[in-house]
Amino acid sequence: MSKYISLTEDEKDTILSLDIFRSVKKGTILLKRGQKSRDEYFVLKGCIRKYYITDGEEKTTAFFTEMEGLTPHCAINNTPSEYFVSCVEDTILTVAHIDIGVELFIKFPKLQLMCKVLSNELLAKQQLNFDEFKIASPEERYLNLLQNRPDLIQRVPQHQLASFLGMIPQSLSRLRARIMEKSKE
Amino acid sequence: MSKYISLTEDEKDTILSLDIFRSVKKGTILLKRGQKSRDEYFVLKGCIRKYYITDGEEKTTAFFTEMEGLTPHCAINNTPSEYFVSCVEDTILTVAHIDIGVELFIKFPKLQLMCKVLSNELLAKQQLNFDEFKIASPEERYLNLLQNRPDLIQRVPQHQLASFLGMIPQSLSRLRARIMEKSKE
DNA sequence: TAAAATCGTTATCTTAAGATAAGAAAATGA
DNA sequence: TCATTTTCTTATCTTAAGATAACGATTTTA
């Protein structure tokens, strides 16, 4: 964190005293559908994945890697979760009750403005992502991902990428083959 | 606003003194691509639309109706806008410099926690929308919209709805015909 | 009010994605 | 290490979306 903001010793101590750091194995499920949890996650190293299961099919809608945080919908609204969260790789992350975030927020005023600015930026980024997704065709979405998050294509299984891109694994495979063909010419 | 939070006279005066209320005609363009503006919008009555133009084609990615706010990406990052914003209907809205929001935020501490909570909720809603969009087929997206925002289908032109749903107008038209056929049986 | 532009639908053809099946390659685990 | 499971690819068939064109209907505006 000190990469991003400078903290006093007091602040560091407070954060460390919370004992929220976890190291979890690949495949571990952090949150299941129907579960009520008020925890939020922040990835320090590794990758976690958010997915739905409909008709027995996994539908991946987001990945979170280094320095990205996931505050599940269920933690905000205090309702059972609609989706699952699991680890794509061995992952080190913080797991903290959502109110701890609010406590920190109250204790350290200088975090407050940062929070507004950050959450605005996050919201804006989220919206741009959504816009891009809507505007692009499946093939363009894959090419965009290749541009913007080449790491994901390396570290995440194809079938999870596929549903993240809004298609089935076979279509992604075919699409990749088609692109390879084109680039040969 | 007093529908949502109770305000003191002081607070009301401050807000009214800002003189940010605007009444704009249908079709008015509030923001153009390339323009640098630091204004954010909040719709009191009517409907505004956010859209891109690529290869001369309009691509609508969002609508904002009563009690919904749009803080453009360009206002947050202070960069030229990538997209356009225009009025779908005659609309009454507030137009305010983004810093005014921050000023209010600083002046009235009780807005601060609300802001964190609200922006978290907004972010969560945004993410759920995105998830839904990714998971659903074009036809399912239309049926979802019919469920969740039936007003939009009434008040917005078909071709704008189409790109909002990620397809061309002819496909939406065909899809609607297909649904009508099915429901007849 | 008349001409022009915009809008929604329908039809045909083309292209690509979904469904299903099957086989090869890689990873996992006992 | 070897068997099992998972993952990725390829192929065929079906279905639906994109491209293009054309035609009224509606709206705009000159």
Task: Output phi, psi for A146, to 5 deg.
Answer: -60, -40
- pLDDT tops 90 at residue A39: yes
Find the angle CA(A13)-CA(A16)-CA(A21) to the nearest 5 degrees: 175
User: For residue A26, what are the contacts with CB-CB under 8 A and spacing of at least 6?
Assistant: A87, A88, A89, A90, A91
Yes or no, beta carbons of A126 and B130 under 8 Å apart = yes
Q: Does A102 reach chain B within 8 Å, measured CB to CB? A: yes
Strand C bases within 7 angstroms of protein beta carbons? 7-11, 16-21, 28-29
pLDDT in tens, A47-63: 999 999 988 889 999 99
pLDDT for position B167? 94
B163: chain A residues, CB-CB within 8 Å: 134
Region A112-132: mean pLDDT is: 75
Tell me which H or E stretch contains A85: strand A84-87
Q: What's the topology of domain A1-135? A: Jelly Rolls (2.60.120)
Write the pLDDT tens digit of every residue in B91-110. 988 898 888 765 565 555 55
Q: Which CATH superfamily is domain B1-113 in?
A: Jelly Rolls (2.60.120.10)
CA–C1' gap, A144 and C22, in angstroms: 32
Mean pLDDT of chain A: 84
- How much is the mean pLDDT over chain B? 84
More confident residue, B43 or A84: A84
Q: Which residue has the tokens 């080190």?
A: A92
Of A111, A86, A89, which is closest to residue A28 (Cα–Cα)?
A: A86
Range in A89-93, A119-123, B117-121, B142-146 the model is least confident about:
B117-121
> How far is it, in rounded angstroms, from Cα B141 to Cα A83?
19
Range in A120-124, B32-36, B54-58 the model is least confident about: A120-124
User: Domain residue spans in chain A?
Assistant: 1-135, 136-185
pLDDT digits (tens, 9 = 90+) for A14-36: 666 666 788 899 999 999 999 99
Q: Which residue of A has its CA nearest to B72?
A: A124
Record: contact B116-A120, CB cut-off 8 A: no
Question: How many A/B residue pairs have CB atoms within 8 Å?
Answer: 91
**Contact yes or no for B59 and A134 at CB 8 A:** yes
Q: What is the pLDDT of residue B84?
A: 95
Instruction: Please give the pLDDT value at position A47.
Output: 95
Contact A77 B126 (CB under 8 A): no
Distance from CA of A44 to the nearest CA of B (A): 21
* A127/B129 Cβ within 8 A: no
A145 pLDDT higher than 70: yes
For residue B131, pLDDT beyond 50: yes
B122–A contact, CB cutoff 8 A? yes
Strand B39-45 and strand B91-97: the pairing is: antiparallel
Nearest to B38 by CA among B70, B69, B74, B68: B74
At a 7 A CB cut-off, the residues bordering strand D are A 137, 157-160, 169-170, 172-174, 176-177; B 26, 137-139, 166-168, 170-171, 174-175, 178
Q: Is the pLDDT of residue B115 over 60?
A: no
Cβ of B133 within 8 Å of Cβ of A133? The answer is yes
C-alpha distance from B111 to closest chain A C-alpha (Å) = 11
At residue B3, the pLDDT reads 47
Contacts of A71 in chain B (CB under 8 A): 120, 123-124
Q: What residues in B contact A59, CB-CB < 8 Å?
A: 134-135
Burial class, A93, CB count within 10 angstroms (exposed 0-12 / middle 13-18 / buried 19+): buried
Instruction: Tell me which of A116 and A75 has the higher pLDDT.
Output: A75
More confident residue, A138 or A1: A138
Instruction: Report, as an integer, the average pLDDT of A164-178.
Output: 95
Average pLDDT over residues B152-176: 94
pLDDT at A137 over 70: yes
